[in-house]
Amino acid sequence: MSIEYKMKIINYFFITVFLSSGYINAQQLQGNAKANPINKDTRKMSIVDTCNIRVLYALNADNIYIPETYVDLQRLEIGNKLSKYYSFFVFNNDSLCTEWKIKHPLAKSAPSYLGPMGKKMYNWSEYKYSEYFKDYKTNTLTEYARMPYGAEPDCKYSEDIPAIEWSIENDTTTVIGYLCQKATCYFRGRNYTAWFTTDIPISNGPWKFGGLPGLILKIYDNDKLYTFECIKIENGNFTIRKYDHIKDNKNVNRQKLLKLQKKLNENYLRIVGAVSLNGKKMPDPVSYEPLELE
């Protein structure tokens, strides 16, 4: 039996036990890939900028007032030179696990999860495990993708910050006390409705969105598969940090990364090279709807 085949068997055994343990929610909007249990060491981060504003967004919340009902809690840090958008749940978990390891240096194993991780905590999603940096000077957006258990090494790609063509409308609403105006756009295969506030005249927003004359506080696609909604704005003196290791992420182009992410969500076990044991049938592919269709 080859080493490669043995690794596939071990991989499948790990995932089968994980699935049968009851931790995985059967109804998964974001595919069936499993989150990476290897935490990042938050001591190995460097300061890349400072900021005075941080914006927290709920991703796909069942109840905006209950964080446990979010798929994720995400944070936008808007600095002088760049902005960073990432999962606060994932970063907080990394931080807590790092602290645990410092306090238990002789432990043979460490916890994979500490602190809240949302309603689908054991699921991997590119929208939860990727970090997005916008560099104002070079007009570049870079996605650093932390890949799920057993998949390819962590990846990254860069592109020009998307120039989204918005149509600004007269409708208004209120989001966390801010008067917001409506804007719509078509972006990479989907139609979106955004609510932005000129009370915060910063042309930015969650994920890859931006380009309006104010901060986007809420945005969703017309099918409402994905909704980003601001729940809090923090003002103060903060640092923006980047993991030191991500410079070593594998370089890919955007289309290649999108295809890989879609395959991982649809057919995770086969993509990571798992093989069936004792005649057990591999799970059928699941339906997956990414944000970017183009």
In the chain, domain spans = 3-160+229-271
Beta strands 250-251; 155-160: pairing state:
parallel
Is 27 a residue whose pLDDT tops 60? no
> pLDDT at position 30, please?
54
How far apart are the C-alpha atoms of 38 and 129, rounded to whole Å? 12
pLDDT band at residue 9, thresholds of 50, 70 and 90? very low
> What average pLDDT is seen over the chain?
88
Residue 21 has pLDDT above 50, yes or no: no
**Single pTM value for the model:** 0.88
Q: Would you state the pLDDT for residue 31? A: 67
Q: What is the DSSP letter of 67?
A: G
Average pLDDT over residues 187-194: 98
- CA gap 113, 89 in Å, rounded: 10
Predicted local distance difference test score (pLDDT) of residue 22: 32
From the list 291, 292, 289, 294, the residue with the least C-alpha distance to 29 is 289
Task: Grade residue 71 by pLDDT with cuts at 50, 70 and 90.
Answer: very high
Query: E strands of 207-256, at which residues?
Result: 215-221, 227-243, 250-251
pLDDT confidence of residue 279: 67
Residue 180 burial (CB count, 10 A): 23
Q: How sure is the predictor about 284, in pLDDT bands with cuts at 50, 70 and 90?
A: confident
pLDDT tens for 248-282 read: 999 999 999 999 999 999 988 888 877 666 667 77
Query: How far from 89 is each of 19, 59, 294, CA to CA, in Å?
Result: 22, 11, 28
